[in-house]
Structure 1
Amino acid sequence: MREVVTVQVGEFANFVGSHFWNFQDELIGLAAAPLGDAVFKNQHLNMDVLYRSGETQQGVLTYTPRLVSVGFKGGLGSVSARGTLYNDDADTPSNIVTWRGNVATQHSESCKKNLFLQSLSEEEQENVVSGRGEIEDKDIVECLEKDVTFWTDFSKVHYHPQSLYQLNGLWMDVQEFDNYGIGKESLSWSSQGEEIDERLRFFVEECDHIQGFQFIVDDSGGFSAIAGDFLESVADEYSNTPVLLYSVRSPSSSNMLRENKKQIVSRNLHDAVSFARLSSFCQLYVPVGLPSLSRSKATTHLCIDDQKPYHCSAVYAAALHSIGLPLRMEAHGATTDSNYVSGAVHINDLVRMLAGQGRQNMVAILDVAMPAPSVFGKHLGQSFLENLQPLTPEVTEDAEDLQALEYMAVHGVFGSGGDRASVSEVKDEICAAYEGETVKPMHCHLSTAQCPLPIPLPFPSIFGNLISQHGQLLTTPISGALSRGSLDVHSIPIAARLRSSSAILPFLERRLTSLLRHGTVQGSSASSLLRSWGFGREEVEDMGESLSKMVLALNPHPLSSSDSD
């Protein structure tokens, strides 16, 4: 088996991760349900790739994510950092026996569980009597739509005691924790870093043959610096293990309307430094997070509130789930073909596919079709490929790149008769769609499965009224509410794609320009700012050289010296 260890760093990354693990938990439950849909039972997915089996001291068997999550102190809401499966008192401070002076105790009220978490507790305690005191699903959905403060508020997953790490002395205040320097100041890796390393080592050492790390990082603020130090430590200790990194951002992190010039320069430098630092320690870097998800083409059939991380993170998590599905597909013979899945890959395979032999570009664009249309016939005059829209910011539309490399995962889509399309039908349709393109990628790998994306109860009500119960796109709107949730939509077909393409150039060039224009000018306020963040002139020049190589690999006409004036 080829295991994947997942790492989540930062509050929005944990929001994305919470939805991601809810999808996995739902898949496990549906596969085990005696009367469940056969499409979930015949999924041919090995969940052991992401999960570990364990046992409590009481002999109770456990099945928990192979995960290390790093966040603010106090960022878990009503959930214990030790989880709920292993009932111990590790979080309770011991009596002070060596101090003989006065002791002052400060006590804060613990967060109360919302209706959703209360319902989970009742189910586990088996105290629910049908029709008596039972919490209604509609009340849970309404409660979550009105008020989600913490990522744990909608998490239905049990976590191992080693999984949830809270940074000591770093209490939740996202507004002030907004740049690389603050993250660097807030955490000395030498003090807490070893504790985080130990958490990761616990999961890695249990693996038989680890295929790689999956990092989800909120790089919009100080957590970027923490993730950078973490990744550097991972690169030192596990030098031969590939890292797939998703840098995720909520729309609120992109709002610079009220920032002055100095703040804008600081933000641009942060983006450049964050990208240069994080990308240097991973094999594949995927930026995820649009300035306004609600107004993007990717959410044409969705109803998104940009101000709710609960909404935006659900879309990004769905895309990450889909693009990573082939990492845990079971191979069937030499061709990995079956009636249900095709195209199993490992992280190393994915990196090689998108790097190519000549380009060696390790920054990829993430596209999604959510929900994906039927593979037969055009929807709204668009081909299947035209329904794929970017979740990566600052990309060029309709870039003509003959050197482009693509990797696509399609699952749960419907055929012309209303049934799930077979693997061969999906392959034929995608091949035909590429043949119809005027500019084709140099190479495209396709992975496909019949298993759709399950919609768990705590998923937000973001589906429009043109989406059916099983995710088909309708021609006539469903009467009633404009947005629908998990009580109305039970699963959806979805397609996701990673592209190594020159369309990423605007993203790269803006970060390079920021370094050339601000960071390398001797005596400038920006140069002083970078020094305060711990970067000397040589380090900044090295970062600029690294970014220049990325741009040169994609652009035959690089930035001129006048561009950096």
Structure 2
Amino acid sequence: MRELVTVQVGEFANFVGSHFWNFQDELIGLAADPLGDAVFKNQHLNMDVLYRSGETQQGVLTYTPRLVSVGFKGGLGSVSARGTLYNDDVDTPSDTVTWRGSVATHYTEPCKKNLFLQSLSEEEQENLVDGKNSGRGEIEDKDIIECLESDVTFWTDFSKVHYHPQSLYQFVGSWVDAQEFDNYGIGKESFSWSLQGEDIDERLRFFVEECDHIQGFQFIVDDSGGFSAVAGDFLESVADEYSNTPVLLYSVRSPSSSNVLRENKKQIISRDLHDAISFARLSSFCQLYVPVGLPSLNRSKAATHLCIDDQKPYHCSAVYAAALHSIGLPFRMEAQGPTTDSCYVSGAVHVNDMVRMLAGQGRQNMVAILDVAMPAPTLLEKHLGQSLLGSLQPLTPEVKEDAEDLLALESMTAHGVFESGGDRASVSELKDQISAAYEGETVRPMLCHLSAAQCPLPVPLPFPSIFGNLVGQHGQLLATPISGVSTRGSLDVYSIPMAARLRSSNAVLPFIERRLTNLLRHGVQGSSATPLLRSWGFGREELEDMGESLSKMVLALNPHSLSSSDSD
């Protein structure tokens, strides 16, 4: 087995991760349901790639994500940092008193569980008493959905997953307002890796050392503010200790992070430098860097059949998590033998294989574009598969449309897609039709790897109500809208077909060039921002090295570029 260890750094990254793990938990439950859909029973996915088996001191078997999550102190809401499975060692007040002076006690009321978390607690209690699942008591599903739509404050508010005590790390003594934790410098100031990093390292080591053959690290990082600095130090430590283990990094941002009021030129320069330094530092410690997060998801082509509230992280993170789930399926597909043509999955790869495929002609520290079709359309009998390719839209910002790159490299995953007769397309049909569609393209990528599966994306109960009225019960795109409704949720849509794609293409050049230009203009050539950069811990020599690294990225994608250390 080739395990993956997942790391989530930052509040929005944990929102994305919460949805991601909900998908996995739903898949596990559907596979075990004797009355469930057969398509979920024949997933041919090895969940042990993402999960670990364990046992509590009471002998209760556990199955928890192989995960390290980093966030603010107090950012777990009503959930304990030790999770809910291993509460045998919960701290209790000591009877020993050594202090003789006056004592002031400051007590904060714990966060109350919302209806969804209450329903989970009730269900677990019923399982303990009856030995089986007998429902959610008095709490109805529709009330749970209304509660989540109106009031999600923490990423744990909609998490249906049990976490290991080593998974959830909170800043010790850090009570910084999330709105003020908005740049690389404050992240460096608030978090000292030399003082707090060893605890995070130990948590990561706990999961790595029990792996048989780790295939890589999957980082999800909110790089819009101070957590970028925390992630940079974490990645540097990982690169030192696990130098031969590839890192796949998703840099995620919520639309709200793009709507910061910029009152003056100084604030604009600070934000531009943050983006440049964050990108330069994070990309230098991973093999594949994938920016995810549009300034407005709701107004994007990716949300054609969705109804997104950009101001709700609960909404946006669900779409990004679905795309990450889909593009990561090949990492845990069961590899088929040379004479076996599975009708369920095809195209298993490991993280290192993915990196090598997208690296092409020696590209390193690649920046890849993430595209998604959610839901993926039905395969057509005419113009085979063309609508599926055409429906893929970028979740990566600042991407050049209609870029022609003959050296482009792509890795695509399609799963749960329907064929024109109304049944789910077989894996061979998917492969044949999508391959035919690529053959018909005027400008084709140099390489396109395809992974396919019949199992769709399950829609768990706490998933937001973001589907439009043209989305059917199993994610089919309908010819006429459902009357009387504008949005549909998990009580209406049970699963959806998905397609996602990673592209190594010169279409990402605007994203890199903007950060390079700002780094050179404000950091290397300018002097007005020097005090700011020094307060962030960066000197001229280090900034020049960053500029050189970004220039090499640009040149790798555009050999005719004039970008250099003396560019404007």
* TM-score in terms of structure 2 length: 0.96
| Structure-1 separation of matches of 2:566 and 2:386 | 38
Contact 1:71 1:166 survives alignment (8 Å): yes
Matches within 5 A, 1:47-58: 47-58=47-58
- Rate the CA distance shift 1:472–1:434 in 2: closer, same or farther, 3 A: same
1:24 aligned onto 2:24:
yes
**Equivalent residue number for residue 461 of structure 1:** 465
- Rate the CA distance shift 1:179–1:559 in 2: closer, same or farther, 3 A: farther
| Structure-2 separation of matches of 1:372 and 1:156 | 26
Deviates more, 1:430-439 or 1:7-16: 430-439
Contact 1:513 1:563 survives alignment (8 Å): no
- 2:378 alignment partner AA: S
CA shift, 1:410, in A, is 0.4
Contact 2:544 2:565 survives alignment (8 Å): no
| Structure-1 separation of matches of 2:181 and 2:96 | 33
Aligned match of 1:445 in 432, 435, 449?
449
Contact 1:74 1:172 survives alignment (8 Å): no
**Equivalent residue number for residue 203 of structure 2:** 199
1:217 aligned onto 2:221:
yes
| Structure-2 separation of matches of 1:59 and 1:359 | 49
- Rate the CA distance shift 1:384–1:397 in 2: closer, same or farther, 3 A: same
Aligned match of 1:503 in 499, 502, 507?
507
1:549 aligned onto 2:563:
no
Structure 2, gaps ≥5 residues long: none
Aligned match of 1:184 in 161, 185, 188?
188
**Equivalent residue number for residue 161 of structure 1:** 165
| Structure-1 separation of matches of 2:193 and 2:183 | 17
Contact 1:402 1:441 survives alignment (8 Å): yes
Contact 2:19 2:318 survives alignment (8 Å): yes
**Equivalent residue number for residue 529 of structure 1:** 532
Deviates more, 1:96-105 or 1:434-443: 96-105
| Structure-2 separation of matches of 1:469 and 1:138 | 17
Deviates more, 1:64-73 or 1:164-173: 164-173
| Structure-1 separation of matches of 2:346 and 2:490 | 28
Secondary structure of 1:348's aligned partner: helix
Per-residue Cα deviation, 1:72-128 (whole angstroms, up to 9, x for no partner): 000000000001111234454645644333322211010000000000000000079
Identity of aligned residues (%): 87
Secondary structure of 1:408's aligned partner: strand
Aligned match of 1:423 in 424, 427, 432?
427
**Equivalent residue number for residue 388 of structure 1:** 392
Deviates more, 1:352-361 or 1:438-447: 352-361
CA shift, 1:521, in A, is 2.8
**Equivalent residue number for residue 541 of structure 2:** 538
**Equivalent residue number for residue 63 of structure 1:** 63
Secondary structure of 2:448's aligned partner: strand
**Equivalent residue number for residue 316 of structure 1:** 320
**Equivalent residue number for residue 13 of structure 1:** 13
**Equivalent residue number for residue 143 of structure 2:** 139
Per-residue Cα deviation, 1:295-344 (whole angstroms, up to 9, x for no partner): 00000000000000000000000000000011000011037740100000
- Rate the CA distance shift 1:366–1:130 in 2: closer, same or farther, 3 A: closer
- Rate the CA distance shift 1:539–1:465 in 2: closer, same or farther, 3 A: same
| Structure-2 separation of matches of 1:398 and 1:131 | 51
**Equivalent residue number for residue 40 of structure 1:** 40
CA shift, 1:560, in A, is 5.6
| Structure-2 separation of matches of 1:130 and 1:502 | 54
| Structure-2 separation of matches of 1:554 and 1:48 | 37
CA shift, 1:171, in A, is 2.2
- 1:555 alignment partner AA: N
CA shift, 1:255, in A, is 1.2
Aligned match of 1:303 in 307, 321, 327?
307
Secondary structure of 1:368's aligned partner: strand
Secondary structure of 1:165's aligned partner: strand
CA shift, 1:256, in A, is 3.9
Secondary structure of 2:87's aligned partner: coil
**Equivalent residue number for residue 401 of structure 1:** 405
**Equivalent residue number for residue 434 of structure 1:** 438
- 2:28 alignment partner AA: I
1:78 aligned onto 2:78:
yes
- Rate the CA distance shift 1:91–1:436 in 2: closer, same or farther, 3 A: farther
**Equivalent residue number for residue 345 of structure 1:** 349
- Rate the CA distance shift 1:477–1:157 in 2: closer, same or farther, 3 A: same
Contact 2:215 2:351 survives alignment (8 Å): yes
Per-residue Cα deviation, 1:414-442 (whole angstroms, up to 9, x for no partner): 01211110011000111111011110000
| Structure-2 separation of matches of 1:355 and 1:264 | 34
- Rate the CA distance shift 1:336–1:90 in 2: closer, same or farther, 3 A: farther
| Structure-2 separation of matches of 1:378 and 1:142 | 42
| Structure-2 separation of matches of 1:344 and 1:269 | 39
Secondary structure of 1:169's aligned partner: coil
- 1:33 alignment partner AA: D
Deviates more, 1:91-100 or 1:314-323: 91-100
**Equivalent residue number for residue 125 of structure 1:** 125
Contact 1:228 1:278 survives alignment (8 Å): yes
Aligned match of 2:230 in 226, 232, 238?
226
| Structure-1 separation of matches of 2:333 and 2:503 | 21
| Structure-2 separation of matches of 1:335 and 1:410 | 23
Contact 2:283 2:365 survives alignment (8 Å): no
CA shift, 1:557, in A, is 3.4
CA shift, 1:134, in A, is 1.6
| Structure-2 separation of matches of 1:416 and 1:309 | 35
CA shift, 1:265, in A, is 0.7
| Structure-2 separation of matches of 1:500 and 1:287 | 12
| Structure-1 separation of matches of 2:267 and 2:339 | 54
Secondary structure of 1:170's aligned partner: coil
- 2:404 alignment partner AA: E
- 1:285 alignment partner AA: Y
Aligned CA-pair RMSD:
2.0
Secondary structure of 2:172's aligned partner: strand
- Rate the CA distance shift 1:35–1:442 in 2: closer, same or farther, 3 A: same
- 2:320 alignment partner AA: Y
| Structure-2 separation of matches of 1:11 and 1:360 | 29
**Equivalent residue number for residue 105 of structure 1:** 105
Contact 2:15 2:314 survives alignment (8 Å): yes
| Structure-2 separation of matches of 1:336 and 1:397 | 39
Aligned match of 2:257 in 236, 253, 261?
253
| Structure-1 separation of matches of 2:289 and 2:96 | 47
- Rate the CA distance shift 1:377–1:221 in 2: closer, same or farther, 3 A: farther
| Structure-1 separation of matches of 2:24 and 2:296 | 27
Aligned match of 2:378 in 369, 374, 377?
374
CA shift, 1:159, in A, is 0.4
CA shift, 1:374, in A, is 1.0
Per-residue Cα deviation, 1:354-403 (whole angstroms, up to 9, x for no partner): 00134446110000000001122479x96221100000000000100000
Contact 1:361 1:553 survives alignment (8 Å): no
- Rate the CA distance shift 1:529–1:434 in 2: closer, same or farther, 3 A: same
Secondary structure of 2:235's aligned partner: helix
Secondary structure of 2:199's aligned partner: helix
| Structure-2 separation of matches of 1:222 and 1:33 | 43
Secondary structure of 2:387's aligned partner: coil
Structure 1, gaps ≥5 residues long: none
- 1:528 alignment partner AA: P
Size of the aligned set, in residue pairs, is 564
| Structure-2 separation of matches of 1:32 and 1:259 | 55
